[in-house]
Structure 1
Amino acid sequence: MAKLHSDSSTETCIFCLIAHGQDKETEVIKENKELVCFRDIAPAAPHHYLVVPKQHIRSCLSLQSGHIHLVERMAEMVKAVLHDQGITDMKDIRLGFHQPPYTSVDHLHLHVLAPASQIYKCMEYKFILWSYRFVTEKCLQKHLKDNAPPQMATQDASDSEDCPFCQIADNHTATEILLSDEELLCFRDIQPSATHHYLVVPRTHIDNCKCLQGDDIPLVERMVEMGWSVLKKTKVSNLDDVRMGFHVPPFSSVPHLHLHALAPASEMSFKSQLRYGPQSHWFITVDKVLSQLKTHGKVK
């Protein structure tokens, strides 16, 4: 087995304390010499468990090809826990890891959520398949087997039935469509950061704004037009107090191009301004995207 990476801060790592029986408040559901399993303190589904190795590994990006069997054993333990809890439909579960900077604790932990079809709406964004935030156990194992660089442990959602925005575009979800045409559709953001917060997405799968080229300028302009249309349709009073733009990877929650339209921009919280502010490293305004496409033929 590959050498596991240790960390000098293990004495203060909460998962290390739990794994070694030093946290009396956490109930360990299953344990062996290598792993422990316990409930997530902020469950996102009726059954939400974490499996962690007793030896400290910072995150899934610390793993190497020699850790393949460790990941397999983590998955085996959590499936055994589900069986013990009476969960029999193994097709309706979600297994995966958060990738930095989206990890809540810097100690490798496998999430299992069941039933996946009942993940709480307010928490869905944290466990979206094909996102930069969350990597499935199967995808991680594939990258480890291929000896892919850790930072490449993201899924390619292109033309995938599992892309949530492709599912919405194909009418496979109950999402309310506010506007649509043959090329685009618009719906509400499930985690609104303003009184009015809408997403405009192309029906054709494009990963993100970095994939755009000069030929895509008309597409972006039509996305902006639909953004303005939905703001007018929903009776936004001050159309001078609007922000439109894109998140820059790896900060896009879903790797399917989507334009954010937010209003009133001046009333967004401080946290929302960090995520959608014109000076944010995460966010690029649509005006800047169009300018770069016209000048450079790509988004820098």
Structure 2
Amino acid sequence: MSILAKADGRPAGAGVLLPRRHLLTCAHVVNSALGKDMLAPDHPGPIAVSVRLHAPEHTVEADAELAVWIPPRTDDGGLGAFEWNGDLAVLRLTGALPPAVEPPRWHPMAERQLVRAWHGSGEPGVFADAEVSECDGRFGYFDGAERTLDIEPAYSGGPLWSNEESAVVGLVTAKLRVRGTLRRAWGIPWQRVTRELDDAGAGHLLPRQPAEDIRDHPAYGELVALLDGPLALSEGWTRCCRTVARQCGLGHRADGLPSADEFAHLLLTRARALPALVEAVRGTAGPVADDLLAVGRRHGLPKLLSPGEHERLLVQLRALPATAAAGVPGAVRAALPLA
């Protein structure tokens, strides 16, 4: 979705489709489209902006009315020199959507996710690839690795898409204006999008992910038994829980102690949560760590490298010469029957 400037019709930013013809973007994109100061906090009133929806086979232009305004907040506590809170807006399309157009799936942002951002023009070839280098649930920073990350203002409000999760994990917000080569930008993680809209009384506009009932999963009972037994009484269990939450980009209760049922659900639905727990408890409960890993192997749970192990492997692979790297997939396939 492109948000078009009133003055010249050029893209002021981008947006993401929500259910019931709603559109999520940044408030500063709406300000830019109206020709106002980007971080102006004042409610713009009952306005409408022009948007362009880029469907697989059609491009449709329509008007979208402002439905929810959460202004940029630069005076909140705990902000750095380049950060601000808020900065969300929900628009409602006045026209019908093209056939077979559906809102995307969402997923929480986490460190080490590989993400793609699109320019507000909607041109399929104008995108930037990056990696989430830091995410605390309020802000997500992403870097262009070895390449300069050329994020322009027209990227703002657009989706950060994770291929691994097959979902949008946040919105592009701003780039860091610092000296030297520009390689970093930041966005609003899905975790904060939900909190901000819930606090504004607009949580009902967000897509609700279908609750995944994992109690029938063959590994569920084994995991609950392990999590409800000696492991929960082991030294440093609270620290281990917090470590897993941090590696998965999640918040946690003040005591950091989920129930065995809650933790089993996390281990079966969040990529790399199980190996993150194995890594966290290895030093204090080695036999239980082996049992957890065995459950994952026995039931074919995917992604048995922890986030840290996965990153270290990627560092090794990226350091290979191109000719050697090209041979790695074939070598792995040949080795799998022996593993």
TM-score, with structure 1 as normaliser? 0.27
TM-score, with structure 2 as normaliser? 0.25
Structure with greater strand share of residues: 2
